[in-house]
Amino acid sequence: MRILETRSLRWPDEAATQAFAERLARCPSLRDANLELHGSLGAGKTSLVRHLLRALGVAGRIKSPSYAVLESYDLADWGGQGLVSHFDFYRFSDPREWEDAGFRDIFTAPGLKLSEWPEKAAGMLPDADLQVHLNTENDDSRTVELRAGTARGQVLLQELQALEIPGGPV
């Protein structure tokens, strides 16, 4: 994937992760975006998704799709609009499983797509608008790199910058 623009952040704690997710939820370009979440086990990928879904209005239990691979949310059920598809490809052993599961249709349809462990479906996923790379530091803070891979991703970075996200300048 070609990287058009990059921003770096530092999240000192869970509250910073939540604040970022709340600001991201306010970005108009997020509605049909394709986001990839990269990081080791425990880096905070699922936590970020949970905070984002809460900020988008999802109430009730938010399950990790670790076993089901996909959890879908119709934001209209919570007074919002749009669809969110949350993928977790951790258990994939072959990228072709993505094709066999019929996910191509979801990625071409309107709605927000959030993919954890996208490298497990390498070569099958469409280019991400925004890649979020999370790294856990020794003090349990997170360093975050946001990489825009499309024009929509660049717009998302601009929208985030206008919202003055915590963790450093975007």
Tell me: the pLDDT tens digits for 102-150? 788 899 999 999 999 999 888 888 999 999 999 999 998 999 999 999 9
- CA dist 131 and 35 (Å) reads 6
Q: Is 37 helix (H, G, I), strand (E, B) or coil?
A: strand
Phi-psi region of 69 (alpha: psi -120 to 50; beta: other; left: phi over 0): left
What is the percentage of the chain residues whose pLDDT exceeds 90? 58
Tell me: the pLDDT tens digits for 53-62? 999 999 877 8
